[in-house]
Structure 1
């Protein structure tokens, strides 16, 4: 199974840049950025360190359902924290286990305190399907004696 570093290299070039937001920026700004770049979550950085993740789920549950205004509410109010992250040497299987156990949809990749990327559950499922398809093809070739 591939490592996180290998998966990050394979990600579509449009997803290589990691979009982030600061904890004191407004929720409305986070929503605009997520809509603009078509993503569902943003790592929250303070002084270069990941201090949280803000997602559409956070917005729905902590803003909309509580009747708060996204104009005057800082991201730190609704971000998920403390951050659960992985390093680039973790396996895809390990990441899937973390995301499943913790009910996460996004997982920051951090090496030596630096944010390298953000994995979504979709990234991991796509890779798992590709690996299974490759294994099936190898087994079929073995059975045919190729």
Structure 2
């Protein structure tokens, strides 16, 4: 499995969107909708205070019949922020996410959030890795490799 740093190089965007703990939930959801993301880092006095997700909104605002315009993000955000470092593997990310039933992981290095990884990103990456493996195996089985093996080309080409 690839490291988070390797995975991030292939990710289209590494922009991390955030909001303030004092912002309204409505404003946070508007940012998520505009930026087409499902989670925001929540900051307070220049530090990470938590993470707010669409799931937090659904469960802690909609189902509790709160007003998103009058509820501050700090009232619904998750404060136990799980995170990973660039050196960790994508496999470790998947294990952490499934083990804690979370969908988003900030990537933090030297106290700074440098990216956000979603379960969707990781699944897409895993599917791509599996497709590449299948393609390589098919080429191997069909002898499409152009590498010489034991003095012969593969795929029944003539001996040298």
Band of TM-score, shorter chain? over 0.9
1:41-99 deviations in Å (ceiling 9; x for gaps): 11112233322110111001001111111112111110011100001111111101111
Structure 1 gap segments, 5+ residues each: none
1:116 match: secondary structure: strand
1:88-127 per-position Cα deviation (integer Å, ceiling 9, x unaligned): 1111111011111111111111111100111111100010
Aligned to 2:26: 28
Alignment counterpart, residue 94 of structure 1, candidates 74, 78, 92: 92
Cα separation, 2, equivalents of 1:18 and 1:36:
13
Corresponding residue for 2:8?
A: 8
Residues 10-48 of structure 1: per-residue CA shift (max 9 Å, x gap): 111xx3321111111111110110111111111112233
Q: How many residues align?
A: 144
Point out the structure with the larger helix share. Answer: 1
Q: How many angstroms apart in 2 are the aligned matches of 1:33 and 1:98? A: 26
Q: Any conservation in 2 of the 1:59–1:78 contact (CA below 8 Å)?
A: yes
| 2:22–2:73 CA contact under 8 A, matched in 1 | yes
Matched, 1:127 2:129: no
Aligned partners of 1:8, 1:40: CA distance in 2, in Å?
A: 18
What TM-score do you get using the length of structure 1 for normalisation?
0.93
2:141 to 140, 143, 146: 143
Retained in 1: the 8 A contact 2:14–2:114?
no
Give runs of ≥4 in structure 1 deviating > 6 Å.
none
What TM-score does the superposition give when structure 2 sets the normalisation length? 0.85
Tell me the equivalent position of 1:67.
65
Q: Is the 8 A contact 1:49 1:115 kept in 2?
A: no
Cα separation, 1, equivalents of 2:71 and 2:50: 16
Aligned to 2:46: 48
Separation of aligned partners in 1, 2:108 and 2:50: 12
